[in-house]
A and B are shown apart, each in its own frame.
Chain A
Amino acid sequence: MFYLMIWLILFIIAFIVLTVYYLIYTKKINQCVCDGNENGKKMLDFPKAVVSVTIMLLLSICVVNALVPTSATTVSRNNYAVIDTSDYSYLAYSSNFNLDDASFAKLFQKDENMEGYTRKEIKDGDFNFIIFTSSTPPDSFHPDFLCYVTYTGDSTKVTAMSHNGQFQDIHTSQKGGTSAIGDFKNQTLLIIGNWEEESLFSLTMGVYDKLGYENYEKSTAPEEAMEDFAFSVGAVLIKKD
């Protein structure tokens, strides 16, 4: 927004300069031609002045653009992926991940403490959440949080499982994220992600029997309400310590 203002100001300045130059140029040539006052000093043609100012304006815009910080610092860090730990494949993602290969996640182990992370175990309903949150400053190599989710309830009647991950700004409570429902394999899921400085992450899991899944498919309910059709739901709020 700040840089848009600068561009707007540059355009306004160029417009004012050209307008003033036009008035001065017109007055001078009228004095020369109509009144016969020749003072020997020639001004630049108005069309040439327009071209010159346009070139200077474009150069100024290029300079301003060169000073704009790279887009990497303006892109939101809020993103996460859901990985099936049985085969280390992606089930879902919310931003740029290497979609072909989630094998890097093998580096992480849910049953052990990890250096640079705080480990926590939470049980909610039929779901176990093992949460790791980073205790070091964010960098490009380590995720800000990891969450292993395991369904511990009766899996015989489960047809599908859903996840709903939402980032929430702690000041504005503004939310944003994704949700998905897919086949149930009774596998442990790994949710791995990064967040903005002022965000927390809420994760809601649900399991569906055949009827519940069919009812959801037939309904016009939004994805945020899919857990209404689940027979078991578990949720956790992941935030920085």
Chain B
Amino acid sequence: MRVKLRVTHFHKEEIIRELQEKDIEICEDSTLVLYEEVAEDRILCKKEDETIIVPLGDIIYIESLGHNVFLHLDKAQYKVSKRLYQLESELPENQFIRISNSVIIARNAIKKIKPALSCKFILTLKNGDRVDVTRTYYYKFKEYFKI
């Protein structure tokens, strides 16, 4: 039997030892995945070969680029294995809002907002990045923030 691990470093060595005792091979090609359950206020992310748990409160925004989804924190960026629509349904609505087809932002991550002429907002986030609220999400955004 072969298993792929998605656990944090806290438990990794112990789990590897136990699996090896039971002759279970650890392999990245395996279709069986062993996930560490995380609390609802956390997300499991990946940076290179390391799996990391990120508290939701540290997230500035989540961005989808092609087939990859990235979590942007203040000074770091991690990859998430889930799709954006999955995250949108799992993340608490009172803390996160989707502002375009490829971006979800944290409610308290907005540093500055600038209206544009064509039913759009340009947001400057706390980490300095700029994202746009597109026309599709414009009225939803206004209703969310009651503006």
**Chain A residue nearest to B115 in the complex (CB):** A46
Pairwise interchain contact B147-A33, C-beta atoms closer than 8 A: yes
Binds A, one of B66-74, B81-89, B106-114: B106-114
Asked if A30 meets B113 with Cβ closer than 8 Å, knowing A38-B146, A42-B147, the reply is yes
Binds B, one of A20-28, A96-104, A201-209, A227-235: A20-28
Partner pick for A22 among B110, B115, B118, B142, CB 8 A cutoff: B115
Pairwise interchain contact A26-B111, C-beta atoms closer than 8 A: no
Task: Number of B interface residues at 8 Å Cβ cutoff, please give it.
Answer: 14
Interface residues of B in 76-113 (CB under 8 A from A): 110-113
Pairwise interchain contact B145-A32, C-beta atoms closer than 8 A: yes
Q: Which chain B residues lie closer than 8 Å to A26 at the CB level?
A: 113-115
Asked if A47 meets B147 with Cβ closer than 8 Å, knowing A30-B113, A34-B111, the reply is no
Q: Per-position contact with A for B107-147: 1 when CB-CB < 8 Å, else 0?
A: 00011111101110100000000000000000000100111
**B133 CB, nearest partner CB in chain A, Å:** 10
Pairwise interchain contact A25-B115, C-beta atoms closer than 8 A: yes
Assembly CA distance A28 to B145 (angstroms): 12
Chain A's interface: helix, strand, loop or mixed, by majority?
Answer: helix
Partner pick for A33 among B117, B119, B145, CB 8 A cutoff: B145
**A45 CB, nearest partner CB in chain B, Å:** 7
Assembly CA distance A28 to B115 (angstroms): 11
Task: Number of A interface residues at 8 Å Cβ cutoff, please give it.
Answer: 17
**B145 CB, nearest partner CB in chain A, Å:** 5
Inter-chain pairs besides A22-B115, A26-B113, A47-B117, 15 sampled, C-beta below 8 Å = A26-B114, A26-B115, A28-B147, A29-B145, A30-B113, A33-B113, A33-B145, A34-B110, A34-B111, A34-B113, A40-B146, A42-B146, A43-B147, A47-B118, A47-B119
A-B contact pairs, 23 of them (CB 8 A): A25-B115, A26-B114, A26-B115, A29-B113, A29-B115, A29-B145, A29-B147, A30-B112, A30-B113, A32-B145, A32-B146, A33-B113, A33-B145, A34-B110, A34-B111, A34-B112, A38-B146, A42-B147, A45-B119, A46-B115, A47-B117, A47-B118, A47-B119
